[in-house]
Amino acid sequence: MGKKNQKHHETAPGTTGATAETPRPDAVEAPKKVGGHAQDSSADKARRASDAVLGDIIGMAKPIAIPDLPEDEVELSVGEDRKRLLLQGLALLVAVLALLFLVFWCGVVANYTGNVWLLLLLIAALTAAWFVSKRMGRFLGKFFMKTGVIDFGHTYVYIYEKSDPKEATVVTYKDIKSYKIVRQGNSLRFLLWGSWVKHPSGYLYVGMTRPFMADTLDALEADLSTTMARHHVKEKK
């Protein structure tokens, strides 16, 4: 470890070399940021958890071309209903195990009896298990990596469709042509239009399902509208 630099102080005759230290004022907490060297955002929390558990995977392909999220200060951060993520993830895990057991049973019985229909059922069950396991991985991945739904910064909007925040869709407010909020029971459907949207419908759907946090939906809807209006994004009627 390198030695800290020390300043040389001249002392008057008859005085000691000790100097009184002036107490430093408390540091002002910096605004929360997303991307780059962000602190306490959904992206960085998940990144730290990912690095600690999985480590860096060399050569792993990413669906977006940027190496990291652009840095921005967070104005509004929308998190997931974590209880819903956990319960749905566990339910899907049970479904995957049941489908795999069905695959095993069909394989054993079909091999013993030669029944072709059981082979077809085996293929169907195996295909279903694959799709269900992907959805299960998304729910449990978001839960353990603490990835949110969407973050609104001063310049950028970060949409976390997958469990890995590095795979977020990042757009600027000026790229968003319009938006719409639809309330459906215990969820909000946040729809975004823009030339960057690749879905055939022409809009990107951001789901905010909160069966265990339904009492927060009214305030969340108001916050979304206020944030979009502040950045001059028009609401689609």
Q: Could you read off the pLDDT of 67-77 as tens digits, one per residue?
A: 467 888 889 99
Q: In whole angstroms, what is the distance from residue 50 CA to residue 44 CA? A: 10
Indicate whether 63 pLDDT > 70.
no
Return the minimum-mean-pLDDT range out of 6-20, 128-142, 168-182, 220-234: 6-20
Indicate whether 57 pLDDT > 90.
no
Identify the bridge partners of residue 172 per DSSP, sorted by sequence position: 156
Give Cα 199 to chain centroid, integer Å. Answer: 20
pLDDT of residue 206: 96
Q: In whole angstroms, what is the distance from residue 229 CA to residue 100 CA? A: 49
pLDDT of residue 163: 87
Backbone phi, psi, residue 65, to 5°: -85, -15
3-state DSSP assignment of residue 197? coil
If you write DSSP's letter for every residue of 94-148 in order, what string do you get? HHHHHHHHHHHHHHHHHHHH--HHHHHHHHHHHHHHHHHHHHHHHHHHHHHHT--
| Residue that the structure tokens 């823009």 belong to | 194
78 with 150: CB under 8 angstroms?
A: yes
22 with 59: CB under 8 angstroms?
A: no
